[in-house]
């Protein structure tokens, strides 16, 4: 029988999310409040980037996705701070014996311009993931030719590495 590798040294995760812009609500991206006349509606506080990161983390350890863990139909999550979801995903990552190595994201939105806020968002996300800002990639693009002027989209990949401390206490197999 082939040997099954139950705990690979690295794991990859991918997350996607989209939200519609709505007037009269604050705009939050990557846990940072941005000055804009519209915010992102839908699930919780609409933080499209944190949702995609959360799903990437959950996917990397094959956990249920954000919609299954925090159903948008549950009034409890209306307007909720998305950091709560990210923290749960990180708990599951740690529980599986992994830590975040790095992540990379593409944000697609017509406005506001993300450039001036890139370093603030990267610092905030790095802090949440317990990595250094140089392990958080963030690219913002406008939706050229997509006819999606009223949406914000996030694609995220994360790489996890097996954390050293989980093997502590485990006996090494004896060599014969
Ligand atoms: Zn979302």
Over the chain (176 residues), the average pLDDT of each successive run of 10 is 83 98 96 96 94 98 96 90 97 97 98 96 98 98 90 98 66 52
* Ligand 1 centre distance from Cα of residue 132 (Å): 25
* Ligand 1 centre distance from Cα of residue 96 (Å): 24
Instruction: State the pTM of this model.
Output: 0.91
DSSP the chain: -PPP-SS-SEEEEEEEEEEEEEETS-EEETTEEE--SEEE-SSTT--HHHHHHHHHHHHHTT---HHHHS-TTSGGGTT--THHHHHHHHHHHHHTTEEEEEEEEEEEESSS--GGGHHHHHHHHHHHHTS-GGGEEEEEE--TTT--TTEEEEEEEEEEEE-GGGGTTPPPPPP-
pLDDT in tens, 77-92: 988 999 999 999 999 9
* Ligand 1 centre distance from Cα of residue 50 (Å): 8
pLDDT of residue 159: 98
């Amino acid at each position: 029988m082939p040997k099954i590798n139950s705990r690979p040294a690295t794991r990859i995760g991918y997350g996607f999310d989209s939200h519609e812009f709505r007037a009269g609500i604050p705009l939050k991206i990557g846990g940072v409040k941005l000055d804009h006349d519209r915010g992102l509606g839908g699930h919780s506080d609409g933080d499209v980037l944190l949702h995609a990161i959360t799903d990437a983390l959950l996917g990397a350890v094959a956990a249920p996705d954000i919609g299954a863990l925090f159903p948008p139909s549950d009034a409890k999550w209306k307007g909720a701070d998305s950091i709560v979801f990210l923290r749960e995903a990180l708990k599951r990552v740690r529980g599986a014996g992994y830590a975040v190595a790095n992540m990379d994201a593409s944000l697609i939105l017509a406005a506001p311009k993300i450039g001036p806020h890139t370093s603030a968002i990267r610092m905030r996300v790095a802090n949440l993931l317990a990595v250094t800002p140089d392990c958080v990639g963030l690219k913002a693009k406008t939706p050229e030719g997509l006819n999606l002027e009223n949406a914000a989209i996030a694609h995220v990949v994360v790489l996890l590495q097996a954390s050293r401390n989980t093997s502590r206490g485990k006996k090494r197999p004896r060599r014969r």
